[in-house]
Structure 1
Amino acid sequence: MGSAIGSKMAPPYANLFMAQLEENFLVIDDQIHNSQIPRDTLLDYKEKTENIRVPIVVTYNPQLNIIRKIARDLQPMLHADTRLKQIFLELPLLFYRQPPNLRKMIVRSALPTTTKAGTFPCNRCETCKYILCKDQVPIPNTQKVYTILDYYSCASCNVVYMFTCTTTSCSTGGIYIGETGQKLRTRMNHHRHKINNKSCDTPVGQHFCSQNHSLQDMQILILKGYFKTERERKIYEFKCMELFNTLRQGLNLEIKQNCLGIP
């Protein structure tokens, strides 16, 4: 029997409940005072005794209630063996694991985490068709590879990226290392605009506008992201230029010339 909120009977029911609750607390207080136990003793930290009982965990089933009786009946058999007696000094502790239910089967408790590494298309922009889905990149003129450790996409920002050329006749190797604080697809729009307009004022535009080259020969991937500062990103960009030798044989030659003051 219940009483709706706001009904005339609700306040009397509430008063009865509070009266009963207060009476219970008074009984507890009386028991504490009558026990003659000092307050300091009650507040002292009590060391927990070590539990040496072996736990047994099973998936709950109503028919498993007999397990406790079985364990109790077979305890003397365990004590008959010297080694088992040292392990099972007392009756095992029985714990029940919640069985699978419909909610667990149809509802995920957490979103799945992405464990793939590399650069992947977002399937929502023009850059997707140029994405190179690899987690390892061979370093030219060596037997080593560069391993990408994190997951990236066209929407990733604050990254150091790499352009590669699929044309095998590239004298420069067709590799360009760049960095951007923007999203990769935003930066890619700039490069694509230069190539489509036959603009040769950038290394990427000059390369992919040259003979036997086109925008379709371009592939792009992210080497690293999640930088804390712009300076850290630029330093890592230069390290990648040296690693892939793009300052001497690559599309970053213009950067080296600018640093050395070569016209």
Structure 2
Amino acid sequence: MDLGILLAMMLIFIGSFVQSSIGFGLAIVTAPILFQISPDYVPAPITTVALFLSLINANRHKATISLNGLWMAFLGRVPGSIAGGFLLYWVDANQLSLWLGVMVLLAVGISLLPIRIQPNPNRMMIAGFFSGFFGTSSGIGGPPIALLLQHQEANLIRANLSAFFVVSSLLSLAVQVPIGYMSLHHFYLSLPLLPASFLGYRAAMHYIDRIPRKTVRLASLAICFVSGMTAIISALHE
């Protein structure tokens, strides 16, 4: 098997472990480095993996899912996804690498904010818009919603984020198809990543009660920072 595919599978394993542990993080951890392996991995294949993983996690936590607070986020997600599609249509690969790096560092910064923002309908709609914009253009749609939900009980966070990501991923893929970012080629690229994602999920379920959530979060943020800087440096040196 090609070394690039093996590295991509390893990254997806780590990202899936993180997302299954804390509720989000798959794309933040993996997207910038996957892009360096091959620009074709971002955003459609990573969105496909996110859909697959979110379906698994949503099914596991289905008893805890509460959609009442998510409808406004879904509503904002639609125009955000379309806006993200327009951005994808206009940027080249080098600009996309820079965009990925900036988005990851921004996500790290948001995750470290000590502020507590209470979710309300207007904030959920705004977060849904930016989740759609970032998610469709870079695959990184989790942080805006996670910022609002981060103070909920852990299982509720995982459940609601998984449900949101299922719908979000479908919307992003629907936008990526007509602009050429999701084709059979991209689908085939996704296939080896799915077993790696499932193994990451299984590992997270095995260790979820043994590793402190804070430890997983801080380790993932460190990986995110390195991957974000890698994407930015790569773009600036082109």
TM-score normalised per structure 1: 0.23
Larger RCO: Structure 1 or Structure 2 (Cα < 8 Å, ≥ 6 residues apart)?
2
TM-score normalised per structure 2: 0.24
Q: Which structure carries more helix by proportion? A: 2
